[in-house]
Structure 1
Amino acid sequence: MDVSVKPIVYSALFIALISIGAMIAIPVGPVPIVLQNMFVLLAGLILPPAWATGCVAVYLLMGFVGLPVFAGGTSGIGKVFGPTGGYLLSYLPAAFLTAVISGRAEKSLVLDCVAIMLGMAVIYMFGVPWLKWVLAVSWSKALAVGMYPFLVGAVLKMVAAVIIARKLRPLVKF
């Protein structure tokens, strides 16, 4: 069995980047501003779908079992049942969808942009309804605390991720 070490190393790197991105947390309400979602989507732009989803799954498992890798150094399975649980769980389908759309051959700027926008949309489509349910608030309140304050930052993170991915891809070979 000849398995390349490169995908494992790249996945470990993304697990570390997602974890570090979560450490830089700016509290602005029940959902903090973090960089972890940028690294989740960047993994989707650079890694094949199975590897992108796998590294996100390992990251989530690390946090659920108690390693302090979630926003602000928190952890535990209880985070799933809190206000940010939907955002955390959304990372799996967001990374997968981003990787599938972005593809591995003939990288196109348009496909990268579509992939990352849909990946970010998945994060909000899981996160905001979960936040609404957990906090028992109206849709307008859930959007006001779980999406609207983050939109400008989300656009900046998406632009940065696409630029970084397009620079790194020639160096990352599978």
Structure 2
Amino acid sequence: MNNYNSNKSLSLHLKKLTLASMFASITVVLSFISIPLPFSPVPITGQTLALMLSGSLLEPATAFLSMIIYLALGAIGIPVFAGFHGGIGILMGPTGGYLLAMPIASFVTSTVLKYGRISFLKLIVSNIIGGIVIVYLLGVLQLGIVAQLNLKKAILLGALPYIPGDFIKVLLSSYLALKLMPILKKHIKTER
């Protein structure tokens, strides 16, 4: 009996690790969608869509791990960040705060969804909190410090131009999550 539970537990851990790796891979692919803006060092990317999906579909620890895997790949120099960049310098540069916020943002998004019934509105709210508020907060903070910008200028360059597109990502990730949740539940026992 104990061996059965041990194997079952190992199987569940392997499934969660596989999901975390899969969502790290999705983040890599979506990070290659990168549109530079001439007035800002921060490009429009698909990374936030990936972190919103991770937070919406995975349990908190698995969502967090998926973004840690993604950041670790980039930190060691694999060109997985926007614009096919990699290296620790990207994480320490003006756009690094947006990246470093990703594990926290996906964890918070998932944690908000953990309690109560999941609805489209709840997905939207959780993705705004994690995918926009937390990412912008840490991203704008690091942008301001590294680029030596005052808070107003950092917000003008690092947040305001991205709000409309990020709200579209919130709606898209919330819709996709509602459609994908039953599929994940069918194949993997999750809390959702």
TM-score interval, normalised by the smaller of the two chains: over 0.9
Letter of the 2:55 partner, please give it.
G
After TM superposition, give the deviation of residue 113 of structure 1 in Å: 1.7
**Matching residue of 1:69:** 80
Code of the residue aligned with 1:123 in structure 2: it is V
For residues 90 and 138 of structure 2, what CA distance do their matches in structure 1 show?
A: 15
Cα shift at 1:69: 0.5
The letter for the 1-side match of 2:129 is: L
Separation in structure 2 between the aligned mates of residue 63 and residue 104 of structure 1, nearest angstrom: 32
- What is the match of residue 132 of structure 1? 144
Amino acid at match of 2:162: F
- Of the three residues 118, 122, 146, the one matched with 2:129 is 118
Letter in 1 for 2:74: G
Contact 1:48–1:104 (CA under 8 A) maintained in structure 2: no
Q: Is 111-120 or 6-15 further displaced after alignment?
A: 6-15
* Consecutive aligned runs of 4 or more in structure 1 exceeding 4 Å deviation: none
Aligned residues: 174
Match of 2:83, SS state, is helix
Encode CA deviations 1:99-144: one digit per residue, 9 max, x unaligned: 0001176322232122111002000010001101100012221111
What secondary structure does 2:78 align onto?
A: coil
> Which residue matches 2:164?
152
**Which has the greater radius of gyration?**
2
Query: Does residue 169 in structure 1 map to residue 181 in structure 2?
Result: yes
Q: Does the CA-based 8 Å contact 2:77-2:86 persist in structure 1?
A: yes
Partner of 2:89: 78
Partners of 1:134 and 1:24 in 2: how far apart? 24
| Mapping for residues 25-40 of structure 1, pairs under 5 Å | 25-28=34-37, 29-40=40-51
Q: For the structure 1 residues 130 and 77, does the alpha-carbon distance in structure 2 shift closer, same or farther, using more than 3 Å as the test?
A: same
Share of identical aligned residues, percent? 33
Give the Cα–Cα distance (whole angstroms) in 2 for the partners of residues 11 and 116 of structure 1.
Answer: 18
The question of whether the paired residues in 2 share the 8 Å contact of 1:21 and 1:35 is answered with yes
5 Å matches for 1:8-23? 8-23=17-32
Amino acid at match of 1:38: L
**Aligned match for 1:47, one of 47, 58, 74:** 58
For normalisation by structure 1, the TM-score amounts to 0.95
Match of 2:118 in 1: 107
* SS, match of residue 98 in structure 1: helix
- For 2:82 and 2:75, locate their aligned partners in 1 and report how far apart those are by CA, in whole Å: 12
Structure 2 distance, partners of 1:104, 1:56, is: 22
Aligned Cα root-mean-square deviation (Å):
1.3
- Structure 1: 5+ residue runs without aligned partners? none
